[in-house]
Amino acid sequence: MPEVKGRIDHLAINLKDKQLYVAALGNNTVEVISLEKGTLLRSIKGVDEPQGIVYLPNQNEIAVASGGTGDCLFYNASTFEHIATVHLSSDADNIRYDSTERKLYVGYGDGGIALIDPVNHKQTGDVKLPAHPESFQLDKKHNQIFVNLPDAHSIAVISLAGFKLLTQWNINNLRANFPMTLDTVHNLLFAGFRHPAVFAAYDILTGKETYRKEIVGDMDDLFYDEATQQLFASGGEGYINVLKRSTDSRYPFRGPNLTSGSFFALLYFGRASPGW
């Protein structure tokens, strides 16, 4: 992406058309990349600080959260033409899509999760929160949403059924909880913290912390692969940690830290490393 300047934020994938969508926040564009050819197909311009982004396969659209305007913007995924706008108060950020229920959830502003009907492009619900939401995850097994609230030093729990705030978990002496992921099979929520640089596991049913481990600094994202029971953490410190579930249900480090550099080297060492 030679014309892209500044920071990029979230990514989304369109498996049908083999395309990757990149929220180029600092460039005020959404970049559309061909995964087959490794080339840029289109640059959607004029998006004020794009942050969250998701592909809606049911209707072949792209939804983009604009941090600058607070808008949730919808684009046709074939023509890339702007279709509709749902305006939120400010700082639209993370997006999650429930393809079964066809519901879109957007974190925004000084504290809110908006529920949007993506078919009709209309907001249908809203939950007020005490601080700006960062990463949040849908847990369909327990019918809840878990939301990181770093400025409120807590994790919020929202009922999907009633779409209301149920409770907040205190995160004690941990700060800057930005990334989050779930292991619903074992009823665990993983939250990544920057101060100190750790990830912590919480019992989804009780909200109690069950495990804590030092991890890459300036953590920005967490991913859990249920098939391999591995946890991947990326951070601004310059490497990725790969952790694998052990027999006692904890997640110790497996193998060395993966240094930043060649993308292919990263894939290779991410799959296998001597001593794993």
pLDDT tens for each residue of 149-205: 999 999 999 999 999 999 999 998 999 999 999 999 999 999 999 999 999 999 999
- What is the pLDDT, as a whole number, of residue 247? 62
- pLDDT at position 275: 28
Query: Does the pLDDT of residue 260 top 80, yes or no?
Result: no
Question: Is CATH 2.130.10.10 what the domain over 1-128 is classified as, yes or no?
Answer: yes
Residue 254: is its pLDDT beyond 80? Answer: no
Q: Which has the minimum average pLDDT: 27-31, 82-86, 93-97, 243-247?
A: 243-247
Name the percent of the chain in helix, strand, coil, to the closest 5.
Answer: 5, 55, 40
- Segment 20-62, tens digit of pLDDT: 999 999 999 999 999 999 999 999 999 999 999 999 999 999 9
Q: What is the pLDDT of residues 194-243, one digit of tens each?
A: 999 999 999 999 999 999 999 999 999 999 999 999 999 999 888 899 99
Domains of the chain, by residue range, sit at: 1-128, 134-276
Superfamily grouping for domain 134-276: YVTN repeat-like/Quinoprotein amine dehydrogenase (2.130.10.10)
Which secondary-structure segment (H or E) carries 17? none
What would the two tokens of residue 168 be?
């907040």
Q: Which residues of 23-57 are buried (b: 16+ CB within 10 A; e: fewer)?
A: bbbebbbbbbbeeeeeeeebbbeebebbbbbbbbe
Same fold, 1-128 and 134-276: yes
124 close to 167: Cβ distance less than 8 angstroms: no
Q: Residue 2 has what pLDDT?
A: 85
